[in-house]
Amino acid sequence: MFARSLIIVAALAVATPALATQSPGASPATTADPSAIAPVEAAAAEFEVRMDLMGEELFEAAVQHPADDARYLAAVDTILRRYQPDVDRFLAVTETYLTAQAAAAPDDEARAAIAVDVQAIRTTLNGFLPGIRTGLAEARSQATAAR
């Protein structure tokens, strides 16, 4: 249950903060247009659903392999590979949106602020599934040591 909750919380934390608000250096002219951000909101909602499903699958893997760490981690790796396209898709949608926002930004300072947001989102999402894998492996190792 812990792993599932961790994944859901992480997915929600990653999903939209930089997208829902304008960048600190951005001017009011770059504030999100509701029709422009709609695809990002839809992608975030889909991402949340997919991450919830992934969390359920990861929980089931733990249930199916309670004493076999190697099989459990192999199942985790298979599950994470299956959900990588969802992370990639969400990243592509957010980058497309923010690239358009940067193009419409009134000055270099606003464009730079958006570029920082893009890089932060890219770094976070590219590390998202590996971070889950690392966390689950560490949790499993601690649980095994406690037995």
- pLDDT, one tens digit per residue, over 16-25 is 445 444 444 4
Cβ pair 54, 136 in contact under 8 A:
no
Percentage of the chain exceeding pLDDT 70: 78
Task: Calculate the average pLDDT of the chain.
Answer: 83
Integer CA distances (angstroms), 87 to 28, 69, 104, in order: 30, 26, 26
Residue with tokens 């309670």: 66
Provide the pLDDT for residue 13. 52
**Angle, CA 9 vertex, CA 4 and CA 33 arms, to 5°:** 135
Cα–Cα dist 95/4, whole Å: 27
Percentage of the chain exceeding pLDDT 90: 70
- pLDDT, one tens digit per residue, over 81-121 is 999 999 999 999 999 999 999 999 999 999 999 999 999 99
How much is the pTM?
0.78
